[in-house]
A and B are shown apart, each in its own frame.
Chain A
Amino acid sequence: GQQLNQSPQSMFIQEGEDVSMNCTSSSIFNTWLWYKQDPGEGPVLLIALYKAGELTSNGRLTAQFGITRKDSFLNISASIPSDVGIYFCAGQPSGGSNYKLTFGKGTLLTVNP
């Protein structure tokens, strides 16, 4: 099935560093979402973006909806050990198939204390 291009695949950083990850698509999306998944859990929504160009923050997290509607990025500032996990981007199309989320393959983040 279709998946978004998410990069990087994995990151290993020191506590306190900033992190950036991004997602691109060949299709236009109406909504971009960023989720975090911990081992043995389902994805938890971090940030939702509904408008091209929108920049939204949630604590130390900042995400942007690309102007072309085909990309998004997520930044995490001043990382802490509990940021460890897999981060997924997801796009939701407009029109008749607006129910369906298409996910990236995820970015595995490891934070060294």
Chain B
Amino acid sequence: ETGVTQSPTHLIKTRGQQVTLRCSSQSGHNTVSWYQQALGQGPQFIFQYYREEENGRGNFPPRFSGLQFPNYSSELNVNALELDDSALYLCASSSGGVQETQYFGPGTRLLVL
């Protein structure tokens, strides 16, 4: 176990709705990264939060947004859900330094109908 927790474990939404996914980082970690993993693919980087600020973003539209809180937990928000947003959403925490290992949570499985 990595100590990274995510909620909920599963979620079903319909097109156009909004969703919020949550992540609690491992104790002592101040950095959280979010990834989207479509079926049969490797994880794709969405964005990273370091000390409550966005620290980098992948090739995802602005309807994907996030927050990090003072306790370093994080939220991923997706607005105007599309069918292609169906995926496993993973968060990973790290201590933020160069070459610091990212430890992944179990993920949230999102299905958009």
Contacts and interface: CB of A to CB of B under 8 A. Distances in A.
A103 B44 contact: yes
B56 interface: yes
How big is chain B's contact interface, by range?
A: 20 to 34
B102 A48 contact: no
Given A42-B107, A103-B44, A105-B40, A48 B101 contact: yes
Interface in A92-113: 92, 97-106
A99 B55 CA distance: 8
Nearest to A9: B40
Contacts of B56: 97, 99-100
A1 B58 contact: yes
Interface in A25-51: 30-31, 33, 35, 40-45, 48, 50
Contact of A104 (B40, B42, B59): B42
Contact of B104 (A6, A31, A42, A50): A42
A1 B35 CA distance: 12
B93 to A, nearest CB: 11
Contact of B45 (A43, A44, A102): A102
A92 B99 contact: yes
Contacts of B48: 99-100
Nearest to B94: A99
B2 interface: yes
B12 interface: no
Contact of A43 (B55, B90, B99): B90
A101 B106 contact: no
Nearest to B31: A99
A104 B87 CA distance: 17
Interface string B92-105: 10000011011111
Interface of A: 1, 3-4, 6, 30-31, 33, 35, 40-45, 48, 50, 88, 90, 92, 97-106
